[in-house]
Amino acid sequence: MTVTENAAPDLVNNDEHPLGHGRMLRKEDPRFIRGLGKYCDDVQLRGMLHLAILRSPMAHARIVNIDTSAAEAHPKVKAVVTGAALADKGLAWMPTLSNDVQAVLATDKVRFQGQEVAFVVAEDRYAARDALELIDVDYEPLEAVADVRTALAPDAPVIRDDLEGKENNHCFDWETGDAAATQAVFDRADVVVKQEMVYPRVHPAPMETCGCVADFDRVDGGLTLWSTSQAPHAHRTLYALVAGLPEHKIRVISPDIGGGFGNKVPIYPGYVCSIVGSMLTGKPVKWMEDRSENLISTGFARDYVMQGEIAATKDGKILAIRTDVLADHGAFNGTAAPVKYPAGFFGVFTGSYDLEAAYCHMTAVYTNKAPGGVAYACSFRITEAVYLVERLVDCLAYELDVDPADLRLNNFIKPEQFPYATKTGWVYDSGNYEPAMRQSMELVGYADLRREQADKRTRGELMGIGCSFFTEAVGAGPRKDMDILGLGMADGCELRVHPTGKAVVRLSVQSQGQGHETTFAQIVAEEIGIPPGDIEVVHGDTDNTPFGLGTYGSRSTPVSGAAAALVARKVRDKAKIIASGMLEVSVADLDWDKGSFRVKGDPTSSVTIQDIAMRAHGAGDLPEGLEGGLEAQICYNPSNLTYPFGAYICVVDIDPGTGAVKVRRFVAVDDCGTRINPMIIEGQVHGGLTDGVGMALMEMISFDPDGNCLSSSFMDYLIPTALEVPHWETGFTVTPSPHHPIGAKGVGESATVGSPPAVVNAVIDALRPYGVRHADMPLTPSRVWEAMQGTLKPS
């Protein structure tokens, strides 16, 4: 099915909304648009204290001495804690999500600028911050490793001397694909194009920074933690392991969250400090980062230097792709990815093309920079992978002097090849790429634009058209090979229908703005025929929801969405037995008609799901052997990931006098299988496209040679506003996932993954008269200008 989206969304009043999927207004918006959301910083508890963190001003230095006496003497200060004090309790180090360790507070050395060195708990936020100034730290500066390319030099200072026997900055090596087979294909290829490309370090920069309120109850030994967490259940287990607290005594609540984008997946030292602060003082303790703290110390994204190679025949058949990657992991390996995937899902760098061979070798290193390595709408590094392959395809088109859209069309995996096993071991569940590509070309008016461009070139005007086609892998993941720190990536779901036919569904995922309270009610409504307005969605509270791994990697729909559909079907199966008793016919004689069971051939005999709910709880006998009540729970373990895809086309104009890039148009055609709420999908796509334009044109966390972070505020770390982005034009196709119960694939990260190469390809296309084949992001006016002058150096 290929459908073109309505330009003017036909929003419907929720009261009139059909039972299930469709354009329903978000149930959560009335509280958000009135400013009545409840975020961590809105939590106010009696006697609550405030925590502030002292951070290292240096990227690499030995801690010689810390004098906290003046801070302790501050009249409003309740506690001052250093790494040494934590070390006494065995809490100075914590595990990261990648089986590394990270300092909660530095003991021996600081390893990046902004690292946590000490914390103060005081009566108010101002006093806590004032007291930080009173702490005197004596640092002995060490040479810093700020350039990933020199991290493995023999004379480079060793950052992780805390790790036994560590004598260099090597973090890990990883490879995928078949090196020899790929070499053989490269040897016989007519054309080989090589290109180095850097995906710079960027930051998710959610509107709400990270923070928490920790409340340890000394009487019953229970800990309640309100925190900005994308994965409350996984965090609870980790706290239990780190702090040695019994898991049933810990309750993690993720209230409303003001954006996550992956930034709120890891456990940060601030959370652990707050817990310690509350245990020490016996009072609730609140910690909220400011913007600079968020930018300099929390999970960054990307930071890959990629040597790409693509091999093809002279008539444009792509044969193989090979890459060697140098990955900057910062001072601690905090990458959040399934354990067996140290490079996340970068292995899908073969893209949407039918290749004969592929190979990747990666070396990851430590540098004196903040840890992180997955965050920012990446689907576990697929952003980097898609950028690599989509830039390489454009480089090949440049060399062969063919149209980049045609080159893609000629190399796509064909619909009949699905399920398609890639040369790096992924099995794409379903796909039909050509209609999506053709639709994007039609929507944008591709042929006309090429004519316009040719015309403009004769006048010296710079206009570029950039294509990108991506395949994503989302919905981690099958427990047989995916876990995070030993926790399998399955999701629980629980559904209870009350006697009056209203229902509550409890999820293990946690929304940060994706609209789960609406879409999950719609998923259940579609299966069981109760209006979405009558279904309450409970999430983000470990005491009140079943165990599961949380929201990231666009996994909520593929995993928890499947769980919600299946739990509803389980309830419906029970309802059917009750209906058969009520209508005095056998189960086989009943038809389901969304919301009621009807006797086959007798349209007048039926019972509604609401009637059945009352009977399930009410007077009268139920069919033999059936327990009362109408509820169920399940734990869903996906059999595969889902593989959404999309075709994006960007049109830019460049001012030849300044190098400034203007994104004139952007067309995005997405396929996420069955669409639950098209309005929410469009919102997700719009947000992701904005992210992508930001990364392509302006975002970068940069460092000076001493490791000082140069992007610690929104004055220096630029994010796009309404002024920099065009009116988004969207379309869609629907290719359901064959293994997902409702055929849905994830979409939350698609646009961020797919859009940067479209923008970069457009800019490079515009610069063709200057003979430019590549320039690294962010394509700021100065970089574009240098590329035009031929003076741009590799970044």
**Residues lying near ligand CUN in the complex (CB under 6 A):** 230, 260-262, 265, 374-380, 552-553, 749
Name which of ligand CUN, ligand MCN, none residue 259 binds, using a CB cut-off of 5 to 8 Å depending on partner kind. Answer: ligand MCN
CB of 349 or CB of 398, closer to ligand CUN = 349
Name which of ligand MCN, ligand CUN, none residue 566 binds, using a CB cut-off of 5 to 8 Å depending on partner kind. Answer: none
Q: Of 20, 83, 638, 748, which lies in the binding site for ligand MCN, with binding defined by CB under 6 A? A: 748
Instruction: Answer yes or no whether residue 675 interacts with ligand MCN by CB under 6 A.
Output: yes
**Structure tokens of 29?**
């918006």
- Under 8 Å between Cβ of 263 and 277: no
CB of 122 or CB of 374, closer to ligand CUN = 374
Rg (Cα) of the chain, in Å, rounded? Answer: 27
Name which of ligand CUN, ligand MCN, none residue 374 binds, using a CB cut-off of 5 to 8 Å depending on partner kind. Answer: ligand CUN
Give me the residue label for tokens 């910062």.
330
Residues 354 to 383: which contact ligand MCN by CB under 6 A? 377
Query: From the CB of 686, what's the least distance to ligand MCN, in Å?
Result: 10
CA distance 257 to 26: 16
Q: Please tell me whether the peptide bond between 656 and the residue prior to it is cis, using omega within 30 degrees of 0.
A: no
Stretch that binds ligand MCN, among 289-297, 570-578, 668-676, 725-733 (CB under 6 A): 668-676
The angle that helices 678-697 and 750-766 make with each other, rounded to 10 degrees, is 40
Tell me the sheet residues that pair with 301: 202
**Structure tokens of 724?**
């920099």
Query: From the CB of 561, what's the least distance to ligand MCN, in Å?
Result: 6
Backbone torsions φ then ψ of 112, nearest 5 degrees: -155, 155
CA distance 495 to 524: 9
Q: Of 747, 753, 759, 767, which lies in the binding site for ligand MCN, with binding defined by CB under 6 A? A: 747
CA distance 389 to 677: 31
- Under 8 Å between Cβ of 563 and 636: yes
**Structure tokens of 705?**
């040679």
Say how many CA atoms lie within 13 Å of 22 toward its Cβ: 16
Q: Of 193, 630, 672, 696, which lies in the binding site for ligand MCN, with binding defined by CB under 6 A? A: 672
Stretch that binds ligand MCN, among 178-186, 412-420, 743-751, 785-793 (CB under 6 A): 743-751
Query: From the CB of 687, what's the least distance to ligand MCN, in Å?
Result: 5
Q: Of 114, 553, 707, 778, which lies in the binding site for ligand MCN, with binding defined by CB under 6 A? A: 553
Query: From the CB of 114, what's the least distance to ligand CUN, in Å?
Result: 21
First to last CA, the chain: 43
SS3 668: strand
Binding mask 197-236 for ligand MCN (x = CB under 6 A): ---------x------------------------------
Q: Of 285, 358, 528, 680, which lies in the binding site for ligand MCN, with binding defined by CB under 6 A? A: 680
Stretch that binds ligand MCN, among 175-183, 210-218, 620-628, 675-683 (CB under 6 A): 675-683
SS3 696: helix
CB of 418 or CB of 552, closer to ligand CUN = 552
CB of 343 or CB of 672, closer to ligand MCN = 672
Residues 257 to 286: which contact ligand MCN by CB under 6 A? 259-262
CA distance 296 to 274: 19
Burial (CB count <10 Å: 0-12, 13-18, 19+), residue 258: middle
Largest CA distance in the chain: 86
Residues with Cβ within 8 Å of 122's Cβ and at least 6 positions away in sequence, in order, are: 49, 50, 52, 74, 76, 77, 78, 128, 131
Instruction: Answer yes or no whether residue 681 interacts with ligand MCN by CB under 6 A.
Output: yes
Instruction: Answer yes or no whether residue 115 interacts with ligand MCN by CB under 6 A.
Output: no
Query: From the CB of 37, what's the least distance to ligand CUN, in Å?
Result: 19
Q: Please tell me whether the peptide bond between 477 and the residue prior to it is cis, using omega within 30 degrees of 0.
A: yes
Name which of ligand CUN, ligand MCN, none residue 420 binds, using a CB cut-off of 5 to 8 Å depending on partner kind. Answer: none
| Full strand arrangement of the beta sheet holding 116-122 | 77-82, 116-122, 49-55, 285-288, 211-217, 222-227, 250-253
Q: Which residue is nearest to ligand CUN (CB)?
A: 262
CB of 746 or CB of 757, closer to ligand MCN = 746
In 10 A of CB 382, how many CB atoms?
28
Binding mask 502-531 for ligand MCN (x = CB under 6 A): ----------xxxxx--x------------
Give me the residue label for tokens 């970044």.
795
Instruction: Answer yes or no whether residue 552 interacts with ligand MCN by CB under 6 A.
Output: yes
Query: From the CB of 744, what's the least distance to ligand MCN, in Å?
Result: 4
- Under 8 Å between Cβ of 66 and 84: yes
Size of the site for ligand MCN (CB under 6 A): 35
Q: Of 557, 610, 733, 755, which lies in the binding site for ligand MCN, with binding defined by CB under 6 A? A: 557
Instruction: Answer yes or no whether residue 20 interacts with ligand MCN by CB under 6 A.
Output: no
Query: From the CB of 385, what's the least distance to ligand CUN, in Å?
Result: 12
Residues binding ligand MCN (CB under 6 A): 206, 259-262, 377, 512-516, 519, 551-557, 672-677, 680-681, 684, 687, 744-749
